[in-house]
Copies of this chain bind each other. A is one copy, B any other.
Amino acid sequence: MLEKRGFTAEVMATDGAPVVFAERKGKSDKTLLIYNHYDVQPPEPLDLWLSPPFEPEIRDGKMYGRGVSDDKSHLTARLFAIDSILEQDGELPCNIKFIIEGEEETASEHLHEFIKQNMDKLKADACIWEFGGVDHREVPMQYLGLRGICYVELSVESLGTDVHSGLGGSILPNAAWRLTWALASLKGVDERILIPGFYDDVIQPTARDRELMDKLPDFEDEYKSRYGAKSFIKGITGGIDLKMEEVFTPTCTICGITSGYQGVGQKTVQPARASAKVDFRLVPNQKPTDILKKLRAHLDAQGFEDVEIQYHGGEPAARTDPDDPFIKIVVDAATDAFGVPMEIVPMIGGSGPNYPFVHDLGLPVATMGHGYPDTKAHAPNENIRLDLYLKHAKHMARVITEFAK
């Protein structure tokens, strides 16, 4: 598809899935880098799909299929935007490069290294991110930062075998207790993370961040009904405090724990093994490798040398300045495509591989796309709305044109 549009395209090896890189020169010296990915989430559970996940089907103005939203039709909408420019002008107004990776759904394990090894090739002036879209009010949103992440598995093996809880269990070390105490040492009931130095590198949000967050709609009622929550943590009730807390505070989340007997009723056994998955969401300028070191030092200092840490990957947070001129281009162009002004979200709580784009390549990164709240990315019946697909393509054509000037 890229070569048909006059791009030189290569499939470049990494230590994991290959990266597709493509480039076409344009009239001006400016270069726009577009990031997408070709991998998708597994389609299971299959029985919940109304049409087969890999046979795209259009019903009621939506196209259904695994990967239609995340992330294949973001790519095709962008190619159609390029078609429209080429049809009208016969050439591109600026240089456009595509970087399309195959590991976005599995933590982009080799992307950072790929970027470091291809700095010249990827040189650009601005970057368009893989996703974007409208919120529940149909307002297009500009998401300018992603939190980092440090994902670990903590595990303890206290014995070679499980043991009767009434016999040796009384005097032998219990893996489930060791893990419980180690976990409890990481964070207090007040949600304060107790690893020494954990907050050292945290950069506090600015007045401008707070101003932008304050403009966004409140969501306490929506969250309570969507997630069945009675209350929020730290006694926060809603409003700006809740919005700030969701994205500007680093976290330590237990994602799962497993140990011993988990069936019905009682089994009087003392477990030999226990493990927990823990993710830390990081804010600028925390670094996952630094957090990993501090975690190990903390566990050792607390007497938990028996707790092993397996690192499942991570990436630092990264943000783009809301007042960057490129962001203004993307935001202004949205009004024409979507009919309403785009709103700016300085940071979101999720994570993604934007760090090397922002910090290695030094680019402003803007989000734009056809996402919407019911797009069901990662879930059965993933879909796109055709009206938003068209709006995203229009938005893209306008952004390319304005950026080239």
Contacts and interface: CB of A to CB of B under 8 A. Distances in A.
Nearest to A263: B256
Contact of A180 (B151, B168, B257): B257
A153 to B, nearest CB: 8
A229 B161 CA distance: 9
B176 A256 contact: yes
A267 B257 contact: no
A45 to B, nearest CB: 14
A90 interface: no
List 8 A-B pairs, minimum CB-CB distance, nearest first: A160-B228, A256-B260, A184-B184, A256-B261, A166-B350, A176-B254, A258-B262, A266-B312
Contacts of A166: 147, 149, 281, 348-351
A156 to B, nearest CB: 12
A53 interface: no
Contacts of A349: 166-167, 169-170
A251 B174 CA distance: 12
B229 A149 contact: no
A265 to B, nearest CB: 6
B254 A271 contact: yes
Chain A: interface residue count, which band?
35 or more
Given A147-B166, A166-B350, A172-B227, A270 B255 contact: yes
Interface stretch (A58-66, A78-86, A134-142, A242-250): A242-250
A246 B165 CA distance: 10
A107 interface: yes
B260 A176 contact: no
A152 to B, nearest CB: 9
A101 interface: no
How many protomers of this protein does the assembly include? 2
Q: Is the interface of A mostly helix, strand, loop or mixed?
A: mixed
A171 B255 contact: no
A222 to B, nearest CB: 10
Nearest to A313: B266
A260 B251 CA distance: 17
Given A159-B229, A170-B281, A184-B184, A165 B253 contact: yes
Nearest to A172: B229
Contacts of A329: none
A178 to B, nearest CB: 9
A164 B251 CA distance: 13
A169 B228 contact: no
Given A166-B149, A171-B245, A172-B229, A257 B279 contact: no
A54 interface: no
B258 A228 contact: no
25 contacts: A151-B266, A159-B229, A160-B227, A165-B279, A167-B246, A167-B350, A168-B223, A168-B226, A168-B227, A169-B251, A170-B245, A170-B349, A173-B229, A173-B233, A174-B253, A176-B276, A177-B253, A180-B184, A253-B270, A254-B260, A256-B260, A257-B260, A257-B274, A266-B279, A268-B279
A223 B266 CA distance: 24
A277 interface: yes
Chain B CB within 10 Å, residue with most, of A245, A259, A303: A259
A20 interface: no
B259 A254 contact: yes
A261 B255 contact: yes
Nearest to A249: B170
Contacts of A267: 255-256, 277
